[in-house]
Amino acid sequence: MKLLLISLQSNAYVTGLKYIAANARAHGHDVRILLLPGYLEDRLAPAIEDFVQGYNPDLIGVGLMSIEFYPAKNLTRLLKEKFDIPVIWGGVHVILKPEECLKYADYVCISEGEHAVVSLLEHLKLKGRDVPPVISNVWTNRDGSIIKQTHEFPEKNLDVFPFQGYLPDYFYCLHKGSIYNFAQNQRLFRKYALYGGTCHMMVTTRGCPFKCSYCGNSAFMAVYGKNVRARSVANVIEELKEVKKDPYVLYINIQDDCFFIHSREWIKTFCTEYRKHINLPFLVRVIPTMMDREKLFMLRDAGLSWIVMGIQSGSDRVNFEIYNRNIRFSSVEEAAALISETRAAPFYEMIVDNPYETEDEKIETINAMSRLKKPYTASLAHLTFFPGTPLAERAIKDELIAPDAYLYRYIVKTDKTYLNKLLDITPYVPKAVVRFFNKPEATRKMIHKTLLNIVVPIVKRTIESSVYFFITTRALDYDISWTLRTVRRGWRSAISRVVFNFLGKGDLKYDERLAWARKHMPALFEN
């Protein structure tokens, strides 16, 4: 059987589809992955039509985040106008809104897809489309009626899944009207890959120990369970051994919600094996209250060079009462001091545009961030109210948001407010400068607004980039050769970081295209 997996996101980070593809291939099926970056057109491109017709898949799978709902709806319509091929949707948005998604797809997968997709392929092979499949976690659209199947918790033993490849030879992309194989056009792959393709994006766990009110994990626990599932060290290292064979990979980007959930023994073994077999710089994500000094320094000694930590707000009230995130800022300060001690590169994540956050709390957040030990960099994210999360339900009840607002905006496209601008440059300017600007609207004068509008672009174009490159160099133990390789190969991402403030150029175009479609393709946005 042939399986075509499609992603509509703007970059080539498709770990979920890679896992599904690898598992289907391991069960004897032929698979291709097709990246259609931000595709939202009123007709199917000839190159896509020719590609699908030439491959002639038995099943098409579309993976989507919430921001890709309307593009997925549009693409599915276009495919069904040209081909009689069943379509299954899966991914984050499908898990959040399965019944809505099943209006447009033949099937939806309401959990992880590795087992479900293989079972569906076997069903189509043996029984065809006319017989509704009885497969756990797969719902069917049968002539407009929904046929639900039982929900089963996902696979506990992650080692049973074949690991994803860095650049599999069945990965394709639509680029300027033509479709290319990424493995045969690696320069093009690096154009679409995050960080210029210099890193391999991977996971060693699935799940998160927290239940933050704004996060999809709070809705996913009913699907995935509360326990965080982990791969074995041996399984992780085997994947990385294959990845390291590609000389273009300079570091490993571990995407786990909190790498420190691994036991001390797991991390000790990982560090030993990583130094022995991989020995590349790597990045992890951490939660402030789960920081462990011994684990941290073991990892740093093994090559840990970058650390991403979510802070979200400098206000304890906001974190506790609004975000259900029981982390005091004092814990953030302790964790940041520990990170600074390692001399790894710190990247801190903040949530802004929160209607429940008062002006005083926004000012408190800026003051709190100015106290953290420098140098560090920070990114801002727009508070997105994902369906099914406690915060979204609260905001809808309070009539603060439209129920479908999350479908139209990238989380890193933040409001250009005075305090957001100030928070954005707080990591890069002296405390005295922060204090000068950090005032409530009632006491601000024209001089504050004028000067801030002058200072922000200067800081963003010069100081931020200098800090970014300095902490990267220091994190790599001042290995100038390795730093130059990192900068040279990832220069597009570095420039994008400076120019677009964490929102890639492709994401900006995608966001603009979605706004264009709302105006020129109104039927698409009707129920």
Q: What is the pLDDT of residues 121-151, one digit of tens each?
A: 999 999 999 999 999 999 999 988 999 999 8
Parse the chain into domains and list their residue ranges.
Answer: 2-158, 195-499
The pLDDT of residue 488: 65
- Reading the block at residue 321, the tokens are 């009462």
Class of domain 2-158: alpha beta
The pLDDT of residue 225: 77
Distance CA 328, CA 336 (A): 13
Strands 345-352 and 282-286: unpaired
Distance CA 130, CA 379 (A): 49
The CATH number of the domain covering residues in 195-499: 3.80.30.20
Q: Quick check: helix, strand or coil at residue 42? A: coil
The pLDDT of residue 383: 95
Distance CA 188, CA 192 (A): 7
What sign has the CA pseudo-torsion 71, 73, 77, 83? positive
Are 270 and 233 in contact by the 8 Å Cβ rule? The answer is yes
The pLDDT of residue 481: 79
Catalogue the long-range contacts made by 462-466 (C-beta closer than 8 Å, 24 or more residues apart).
Answer: 463/425, 463/428, 463/429, 464/377, 464/425, 464/427, 464/428, 464/498, 465/494, 465/497, 465/498
Do 2-158 and 195-499 show the same overall fold? Answer: no
Are 118 and 78 in contact by the 8 Å Cβ rule? The answer is no
The pLDDT tens digits of the residues spanning 248-287 come to 899 999 999 999 999 999 999 999 999 999 999 999 999 9
Query: 205: Cβ–Cβ under 8 A, 6 or more apart, which residues?
Result: 228, 229, 230, 231, 256, 257, 259, 261, 262
Residues of the chain with pLDDT under 50: 491-504
The pLDDT of residue 503: 41
The pLDDT of residue 505: 55
Query: 352: Cβ–Cβ under 8 A, 6 or more apart, which residues?
Result: 362, 380, 381, 382, 383, 414, 415, 420, 423
The pLDDT of residue 497: 44
Are 206 and 154 in contact by the 8 Å Cβ rule? The answer is yes
User: How many C-beta atoms lie closer than 10 Å to residue 364's C-beta?
Assistant: 20
List beta partners, residue 29: none
The pLDDT tens digits of the residues spanning 397-443 come to 999 999 888 888 878 789 999 999 999 999 999 999 999 999 999 99
Strands 138-142 and 282-286: unpaired
Biggest CA-to-CA distance, the chain: 73
425-436: b or e for each residue (b if 16 or more CB lie within 10 Å)? Answer: bbbbbeeebbeb
pTM of the model: 0.93
